[in-house]
Amino acid sequence: MYQAKVTNIKITGRGGMGILTAAGILAETAFLAGYDVKRSELHGMSQRGGSVSSDIRFGKKVFSPMIPDGETDYLLLMADDQADVFGHDLRMGAEIISSVIFGPSGFPHKKSLNIAMLGALSAKLDFHHKIWLDVLEKIFGKEVVDINISAFNLGHKIMNQAIAEKHQ
């Protein structure tokens, strides 16, 4: 049976961390890269600090907007205390990307952590860098676009270093 492989990415954290913004950027990038994309999110009481999570799925053809149990390929953890919550959603060998990659004190600019994490994820996906940057420029206003692009690039670089170290 032929089933085109769908890539499943879950972004989780708490209200105010920019999860939906990050999910939007990822979905738009996948769309511009030519994939079918579906994205869904739950954020019932997010403004009150509750959990927020978003599923982004892309591939040749995506049906359900929700990632089926045990099929998450990448989990982006904006808040580390969410790791246990989504543990059962992971596929064998799934990758968890958490803010720990930025060192023990986390990413210096809290407000652009979401974009730095996307930068880190981008090192694992095969979208052109240019598409990511185009989307970032489209989403962010003049005042904050540069900060976000450098956060993205830093995340990308740090993940690439981590990958290189692993292969040494």
Residues 11/22, Cβ–Cβ less than 8 Å: yes
Q: How far is the CB of 61 from other proteins (least distance, A)?
A: 9
Characterize the bridge pairing of strands 72-77 and 36-42: unpaired
Residue 109 within binding range of other proteins, rule CB under 8 A:
no
Q: Which of 29, 72, 82, 148 binds other proteins (CB under 8 A)?
A: 82
73: contact with other proteins by CB under 8 A: no
| Among the listed residues 161, 102, 150, 156, the one whose alpha carbon sits nearest the alpha carbon of residue 127 | 156
Q: How far is the CB of 45 from other proteins (least distance, A)?
A: 3
CA distance 6 to 57: 7
Which residue lies nearer to other proteins by CB, 3 or 105?
3
Does residue 53 touch other proteins according to CB under 8 A? yes
With CB under 8 A as the contact rule, the residue among 25, 89, 120, 158 that binds other proteins is: 89
Examine residue 102 and tell whether it contacts other proteins (CB under 8 A): no
Residue 76 makes contact with other proteins by CB under 8 A: no
Residues 116, 130: Cα–Cα separation, whole Å: 16
In whole angstroms, give the CA distance from residue 83 to residue 38. 23
Q: Which of residues 12-51 bind other proteins (CB under 8 A)?
A: 14-15, 24, 27, 31, 36-51
CB of 11 to other proteins, least distance (A): 13
Q: What is the DSSP string of 1-32?
A: ---PPPEEEEEEEETTS-HHHHHHHHHHHHHH
Cα 100 from Cα 106, distance rounded (Å): 6
Residue 107: HSE in the Cβ half-sphere, 13 Å Cα cutoff:
29
- Residue 98 binds other proteins, judged by CB under 8 A: no
From the CB of 160, what's the least distance to other proteins, in Å? 29
Residues binding other proteins (CB under 8 A): 1, 3, 14-15, 24, 27, 31, 36-51, 53, 62-66, 68-70, 79, 81-82, 85-86, 88-89
